[in-house]
């Protein structure tokens, strides 16, 4: 079997940040790494689930809504994938930063928090998403395009 691209990255050196994961034609996948891999401090399901509802809704309602293909959690509980097309790296970084700010400032009901809208609506808690957004914002608030490559060895 061929090894998938994400398994080719040395997870011992990844820190919270934004990484260019892969490019498939016109679709670009970004790794939004919110946690250090292989550490006990993983996101719990309610945090991932709520953050996903909030982030996905905000980006799909942004000026780049037509460019957003997908946003969802990593099974390893250390981050999310954002798939877009026809966006500059700088636009994606700004979109991420702006979206985090919106989650942090949001007051109200979690988007999609009803039985009809979500398959596990009771597992949504806004404060968990806000806390995750604050934590991640600190890691990416001054992010620049030159930092999109995965770290290697001594760069950790």
Along the 156 residues of the chain, how does pLDDT read in single tens digits?
877 667 778 888 999 999 999 999 999 999 999 999 999 999 999 999 999 999 999 999 999 999 999 999 999 999 999 999 999 999 999 999 999 999 999 999 999 999 999 999 999 999 999 999 999 999 999 999 999 999 886 443
DSSP state of 107: -
Q: For the chain, what are the domain ranges?
A: 10-139
Predicted confidence at residue 153, as pLDDT, reads 62
Does domain 10-139 fall under CATH 3.30.1360.80? My reply is yes
Predicted confidence at residue 5, as pLDDT, reads 66
Predicted confidence at residue 1, as pLDDT, reads 87
Predicted confidence at residue 2, as pLDDT, reads 75
Per the CB < 8 A criterion, the answer to whether 112 and 70 are in contact is: no
| Helices 89-105 and 126-140, packing angle to 10 deg | 140
How far is C-alpha 5 from the geometric centre of its chain's CA atoms? Answer: 18
What six digits make up the tokens of 145? Answer: 């395009």
What phi-psi label fits residue 38: left (phi over 0), alpha (psi between -120 and 50 degrees) or beta?
left
> DSSP H helical segments within the chain, as ranges?
45-59, 89-105, 126-140
């Amino acid at each position: 079997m061929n090894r998938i691209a994400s398994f080719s990255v040395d997870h011992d050196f990844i820190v919270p940040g934004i990484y260019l994961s892969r490019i498939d034609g016109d679709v670009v996948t970004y790794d939004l790494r919110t946690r250090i891999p292989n550490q006990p401090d993983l996101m719990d399901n309610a945090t991932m689930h709520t953050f996903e509802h909030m982030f996905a809704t905000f980006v799909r309602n942004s000026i780049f809504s037509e460019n957003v293909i997908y946003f969802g959690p990593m099974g390893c509980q250390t981050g999310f994938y954002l798939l877009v097309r026809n966006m500059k790296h700088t636009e994606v970084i700004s979109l991420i930063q702006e979206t985090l700010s919106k989650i942090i400032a949001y007051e109200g009901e979690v988007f999609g928090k009803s039985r009809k809208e979500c398959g596990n609506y009771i597992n949504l808690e806004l404060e968990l998403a806000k806390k995750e957004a604050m934590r991640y914002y600190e890691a990416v608030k001054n992010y620049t395009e030159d930092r999109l490559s995965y770290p290697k060895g001594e760069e950790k």
